[in-house]
Each structure stands twice: as C-alpha cells, then as structure tokens.
Chain A
Amino acid sequence: MARLETSGLDVHIGTTRVCRQLDLHFNAGERWAILGRNGAGKTTLLHTLAGLRRPDNGTVRLDGATLDTLSRQRVARRIGVLLQDHLDAFPANVMETVLIGRHPYLGALQWEGPDDYAMARAALHAVGLDGMEDRNVATLSGGERRRLGIATLLTQDPAVLLLDEPTNHLDVHQQIRILDLLQARAQAEHKTLLLVMHDLNLALRYCDRFLLLFGAGETAQGSADVVLTRPILERLYGHPMYALQGPQGPVWLPG
C-alpha cells in the first residue's frame, strides 16, 4: 500500500482534460516532480491529490483510506500543501502566520503551547527567517513571504508535502537552500515530496520520479532516464530542447 495513491483518476478543468484513468503511487521517501506546460492542470491535479477538489472519476487514497471519508483535520495531519499564492487579508505578523501550521493538531479550545512555538521557531530558523517573528507579513518581500509559507508547511509537519512552485520568487541561492532543506527532510523523516516545477534542471537535481502532464489527458511517469528524453520533453513543452553535459548530469536548455 502506497502512502498516497490514485486509481482510475479522471480530472477535468471545465472541458479540458488533465488526466485520464491515472494510477499513481507515492511512497515514503520518494521525491516527485510534476512537469507540464502552463494550463496543463498541474495545480488542479495537486489540489485533487490534497482533497481540496473532488476527482471527476476514480479515487485518491491516503494510507489506504479514500480521501473524502477522512475528516479535513485528519487529512491535514498527513498532507500539507504550499499553495501558489498567499492571501493576507488582515494584518498578521510572522510568528502568528507560521503558527497556523499547528492547527490540525490542536483541539477547538486548545491554545498553542511551548512545543508549538518551538516548532514554529525551528521552522523559521530552517528557512532563514529567524529574528523576524514580530515583522508584519505585509512588509515581507515576495521571496521572504514564500519562505514563510514553506516554514508554515514545516510547522504543519505532514508526511506528504505537496508544493506548488516552491521556488517561485526565490533567488538562486534561496532556491537551492530551500530545495536542499526539503530534500534533507524527505530523506531523514521519510517524507513524500511532490513538487510542481517549471525549472526542469532543478527538478532533475532534486527529484527521483517524474510525472509529466502533456495536456488533453495524456500523462507519463517514471524515472529520469525513462521519461526525460529529448523527444518527450519537446512534446511536453512544445519547444525544441537540447542537453548540455553539466557536472552533475545533463542540463536542459530551450532551443
């Protein structure tokens, strides 16, 4: 039994098909990249896997149980999501924002305790936001806000981490730092990572399995040497691609 799996999954956005009869198995310790063009349905698929959206057909199972038979709270203890955008409608500071990650573990009338604060501080430290606990979230830069979102996800500490473009707004150094951090967590704590990525080379560097969405319901999955070949990538992106030999393997460039 895989940690998170789908069988016969059909997902549509309006009349556009994202996937058809898709079977996926995400196991402990695996790091997956979801690749595809704009509008291919990467985010929609991610939301379906998180139970934020019902599949049009087929099932998503978490630890063997169908997702919509579980309470949102139980799901949130096992699956965490970094959404593409953050909404800050009311003023909030960094500590308050990162602490919301503890919500799935607390009773209705229970307040956050010292342990919750310690986890939140450790997560802020891990993403390099320590010392910013009292900063107003509205004054953060795009990259800092993104790292705060990742810190919130680390505070939630789920077994499955679904990240929608985690490197959005991050500079090169921070991209590597955050992905190193996620990879280390995944290995040390056997977490399952699913990253929606636009940077093929970062995906190649950090992920060991790939799910390709071609649009119109067509998909491919497997390891790099099976699915990341030139003809497949050119069809995926609808653009000529070529590879250079880099120090850690091939580096893909658009032609």
Chain B
Amino acid sequence: MRPLLLFSALLALTVAGFGWSLTSGSIDIGWRELVAALFDPEAGLPARVILELRWPRAAAAFVTGALLALAGALMQVLLRNPLADPYVLGISGGAATGALLTLLFGFGGLWLHGAAFSGALLSMLIVFGLAHGRGSWTINRLLLTGVVIAAGWGAVIGFLLAISPEQNLRGMLFWLMGDLAYAGTPLTGLIVLLGGLLIALAMGRSLNILAHGELAAATLGVPVATLRRLIYVLASLLTAAAVTMAGSIGFVGLVVPHMLRLQGVRDHRLLLPAAALLGGSLLLIADTLARTLLAPRQLPVGILTALVGVPVFLVLLYRSRELHGREG
C-alpha cells in the first residue's frame, strides 16, 4: 500500500473514531453539537459532557491502544515472531503487579510509573532471556514461558487484592483484563508514546535489518546488542505506561501489526507509526463499543479485545506451525 494512502486512511479512521466516541453515550449528542462544543467550551451541558467525561476517556483509549500496538510491533521484531504481545507474554502482568504493589503501600505518582516499568522490564528479561536461542523449540519455549509468567503475575495480583484492606482499589478485572473506566487524562502516556515513537522511528531501518536475524544484522553494521537492550527498555516503558492507565488490555499489540503486515506494510519506518495510529483508533472504537453495547452497563474493553485477539492468535499459531513443518 502506498504510504500516503495508508496514512490518509489511518488519519480518517482516527478522526472518525474520535467523532463516534465523543457523540456516543447516555446523552445523545449530535455531530453539530460536537463541533459547537469543540469551538465553544462554554456551550452548556453537551459541551461539558464531552470535554469533562468523554474526551479524556477517548484520548486515554487512543493513547493506550497506540502504546500497546507499538510495544507489540517492537517485541515482534526482536523475537522475529508475530506472536509476541505484551499481554500474552506476561509483560503487562509484571507492570500491573508493580503498579498494584506501590498503590497498596500508599505510594503514587512517579513511584507508580517506576514500579510498573520495573515489573515490565523484569518480565521482559525473564521471558526473552529464556526464549533466546535458535531452533524450532524457541517459539514453544517463548510462549510457554510467557504464559507461565502471566499466570504467575495473575496469582500475585489475586493475592495482593485478597489481602488488601482497601475497598477503593481498582478491582481484579482492571488488573487482569483492562478497563478504561478509571483512566485519567493520559498526559504521561502521551509523552511516553511520542518519545517512544521518535526513538522507534530513528531505529526503523535497523529494525528492518534485525528482522533478517541477529547475525545478518551484525554483518550489515547493526549494533545488535545495543539495539536489543534499547528495545527491551522501550517496549517495557510503553507497556508500563499503558498498564498504569488502563490495566492489562490484551491482544492489541498482536492484532494491529498483523493487520498492517497483511496489507503489505513491512517497512518498520512506516509500520511503527501506522501501528500507533491503528492501535489507537481500534482501541478507541472497541472502548466506545464496550461502553455502549449493553448500556447503561459498561463492559471492560479488555473483554472485547480478547474476543477478537484470541482467534487471531490461534490462526497465527497454526500458521507458524505450518511454516515450521515446511522448514523442519
């Protein structure tokens, strides 16, 4: 697909996603009122609903989706495997555990982000450290490690919530499945997203080379060890920023890069910004669905992403088995 067409389509999707999200909800607000509200913040109740309730949540959904898609795409190059995803591999679980621990001990702010980042990085080092190697066992080993680590974090989260005396902590569902209902204004997330995207773009061509294997990348002048460490840190940061905002939302990082690759977007200099836009708008649309489908009941958006993500994951897993059958 031509880059210009691709990014026009993605921008249109983003604008449409925001428009739909801001006009949907318990109070009917039309497009005309939306435009009026955007240009005149004093324009009464609809404007207040949009600016104080819907806009922060829509923005948080977009930023979370973009963070997760970017993290997923980065992890996939590092492993040269389209099955990598921060949720499936337990990275989100590590971030959630770190964040929950600081909340239980009564810390917040920077401590929260730092702990989420440390949890994510720890999971990343465990999973990628154990999966690093050659041969067909790598995929199995990677997935097994990730699933077990994710289950382990799930148990820790369950334990922490069970012994926690606090009734006002965000619940089990938030940390295990993800929910945007508690997200505040996504300022930290946005800063991490923009910074991460810039760094990712600067290493875009190196990532293209890394997709051909670490040895081949080294022969072409890529400082592989440095790049690998940078991706560990960056993917952990992106995941941690998403998790502190919205809990462990799954499968965005898996589905979004896959959709783009199916459309022939393979150059990471295009794939990474495109993944951020597509991930953002898809999670925004998913969250709008989640809060309107069974209104007035609001579903956690993680349920929807899992319902879409699990079949996609299974198809990818089946295909990778086929591939290995042929190669082996």
Contacts and interface: CB of A to CB of B under 8 A. Distances in A.
A100 B209 contact: yes
Interface string A62-90: 00000000011111110111010011111
Contact of A89 (B81, B209, B269): B81
B216 to A, nearest CB: 6
B163 interface: no
Interface residues of B, number: 26
A100 B220 contact: yes
A79 B219 CA distance: 8
Contact of A91 (B80, B81, B220, B266): B266
A92 B264 CA distance: 9
Given A108-B205, A109-B202, A86 B216 contact: yes
Contact of A86 (B201, B203, B212, B261): B212
B221 interface: yes
Given A96-B266, A108-B202, A87 B221 contact: no
Q: Which 8 A-B pairs have the closest CB atoms?
A: A76-B221, A89-B80, A87-B213, A73-B221, A104-B221, A81-B219, A103-B220, A72-B221
B82 interface: yes
Given A72-B222, A77-B221, A106-B205, 15 more contacts: A47-B215, A52-B219, A72-B224, A75-B221, A79-B219, A81-B219, A83-B216, A83-B219, A90-B211, A90-B261, A91-B266, A96-B208, A103-B206, A103-B209, A103-B221
Contacts of B82: 90
A180 B170 CA distance: 70
Most buried by A among B82, B216, B269: B216
Contacts of A89: 80-81, 211-213
The range of chain A's interface size is: 20 to 34
30 contacts: A47-B215, A52-B219, A71-B221, A71-B223, A72-B218, A72-B224, A76-B221, A79-B219, A83-B215, A83-B216, A83-B219, A86-B212, A86-B216, A87-B213, A87-B216, A89-B80, A89-B211, A89-B212, A90-B211, A90-B266, A91-B266, A96-B208, A96-B266, A97-B212, A101-B220, A103-B220, A103-B221, A103-B222, A108-B205, A109-B202
Contacts of A72: 218, 221-224
The winner among A50, A72, A75, A81 for most chain B CB atoms within 10 A is A72
Interface string B182-218: 0000000000000000000111011011011101101
A106 B202 CA distance: 12
Contacts of B216: 83, 86-87
A80 B219 contact: yes
Interface string B109-128: 00000000000000000000
A103 B217 CA distance: 10
A198 B201 CA distance: 43
B212 A76 contact: no
Contacts, number: 75
A109 B204 CA distance: 8
B267 interface: yes
Interface of A: 47, 50, 52, 71-77, 79-81, 83, 86-92, 96-97, 100-101, 103-104, 106, 108-109, 111, 156
A90 B206 CA distance: 15
A104 B215 CA distance: 15
Contact of A92 (B222, B266, B269): B266
A76 B220 CA distance: 5
A71 B220 CA distance: 11
Nearest to B262: A91
